[in-house]
Structure 1
Amino acid sequence: MERIEAISMTTFAYCRVSTLDQHTGIQEEAIKKAYPDAVVRHEKASGTTRDGREVLSLLLDMIGQGDKLVVWKLDRLARNMNDLTGIVDSLESKRASLEVLDQRIDTSTASGRAFLQMLGVFAEFETNLRKERQLAGIEKAKREGKYQGRRRSIDAEEVKRLKNSGMRPTDIAKKLGIGRTSVYRLLEA
């Protein structure tokens, strides 16, 4: 008699916010309503890239055959097509799937995969439009003399004073908690 092993499916949920003052409560509530037994993980990190998102990386490493990754909204997972495609490819290579609750997308179906790709293109387009509007606003403010840029975070006079007292650029950088390149740039200016 042949023994058949059942594949146990685990549902992993990923909740992300960008800033420390934001909370993942609404995301988790929606996910727990759909999947009460989901393993929920939270992350506070920018969604513009996968870099620096250790919780997401850990989840993608943990997910195996038959498992599912669930997110509340697509922008909680990825903001550009490269990242989205990479995540979906990673899941598919493990025979796992992605579900986006808000848009009712499930990559375990052909229509779900197609719809996800279309939404990803539009999400990236929206992000690019937002960046263009921001840059246009900054240019306008510069023309009107209203844009001052970011405040200097390094005291150039202190860097010069320390250099004049005989301190080496590497030591200045360590003392002030800044990059050595910044010290050299200020000294050359």
Structure 2
Amino acid sequence: MLIGYARVSTQEQETNAQIDALTAAGCTRIYQEKKSGGSLSRPILFQMLDRLRPGDVVVVYKLDRIARSLGDLLHIIERVKRNGCQFRSLTETIDTDTPSGRLILMMLGAVAEFELSLIRERTKAGMDAAIARGAKPGRPRSMTPEQEADVVRCWEAGTETQRALAKRMGVDVASIKRAIYRSRQAQLFD
């Protein structure tokens, strides 16, 4: 059975183009995931790998859809082979049953890993340059310093729960937790 795996990095992206290509290739079952390739938590991928049966062929549109590092790719391919299955990429013509196919797979995986390293390096350089110009990376805080101080006072006094504070301030509970955490960290270093 041809089993497809489609992945995009964010919830806002769609897998439609990958699914169309996998369907055209003859995949009868397609697993879809919206997770970063660098994420260690890819439950749909691992669910697919757990359900493989001897003779199945795992098909992806492109290698970087299933793994972002060479080590990760080789681990996944090894797991596919241990299950008595094969692996196919529609974009990169690879036959993992031949020595030259495995070599090409490793070279393409190494290139994908190198590309990811370059992206990370450029992103870090851009952030460092922005910080040097006075920019503050990340999202702006959802509460002013005065509001955060009020939240911490109420929390420490025990007059309101984190949920009640979040509702009153019109923010998520996580924002309340971060404000309390920052206050405690500041107290440690005073």
Q: Return the TM-score normalized by structure 2.
A: 0.81
Q: Write the letter of the residue equivalent to 1:32.
A: T
Q: Write the letter of the residue equivalent to 1:166.
A: G
What is the CA distance between 1:159 and its match in structure 2? 3.1
Secondary structure of the corresponding residue to residue 141 of structure 2: coil
* Distance verdict in 2 for CA 1:188–1:136, change over 3 Å: closer
Q: Which structure 2 segments of 5+ residues have no match?
A: 167-172
What is the CA distance between 1:181 and its match in structure 2? 7.6
Identical-residue share of aligned pairs (%): 35
Secondary structure of the corresponding residue to residue 125 of structure 2: helix
What is the CA distance between 1:180 and its match in structure 2? 5.8
Superposition map of 1:18-97 within 5 A: 18-35=9-26, 37-49=27-39, 51-97=40-86
The structure with the largest helix share of the pair is: 2
Secondary structure of the corresponding residue to residue 91 of structure 2: coil
- 1:117 aligns with 106
- 2:180 aligns with 183
Secondary structure of the corresponding residue to residue 53 of structure 2: coil
1:103 paired residue among 71, 92, 95:
92
- 1:172 aligns with 162
| Contact 1:107–1:113 (CA under 8 A) maintained in structure 2 | yes
For residues 76 and 18 of structure 1, what CA distance do their matches in structure 2 show? 9
| 1:161 pairs with 2:150 | no
For residues 49 and 73 of structure 2, what CA distance do their matches in structure 1 show? 13
Secondary structure of the corresponding residue to residue 47 of structure 1: coil
Secondary structure of the corresponding residue to residue 105 of structure 1: coil
| Contact 2:7–2:32 (CA under 8 A) maintained in structure 1 | yes
Q: Write the letter of the residue equivalent to 2:157.
A: S
Q: How many residues in Structure 1 have an aligned counterpart in Structure 2?
A: 175
* Distance verdict in 2 for CA 1:188–1:173, change over 3 Å: farther
- 1:133 aligns with 122
What is the CA distance between 1:187 and its match in structure 2? 2.9
| 1:148 pairs with 2:150 | no
| Contact 1:11–1:68 (CA under 8 A) maintained in structure 2 | yes
What whole-Å deviation, never above 9, does each CA across 1:151-180 have from its counterpart, x for those lacking one? 235663243232343359xx5389642386
| Contact 2:152–2:179 (CA under 8 A) maintained in structure 1 | no
For residues 20 and 181 of structure 1, what CA distance do their matches in structure 2 show? 24
What is the CA distance between 1:62 and its match in structure 2? 0.6
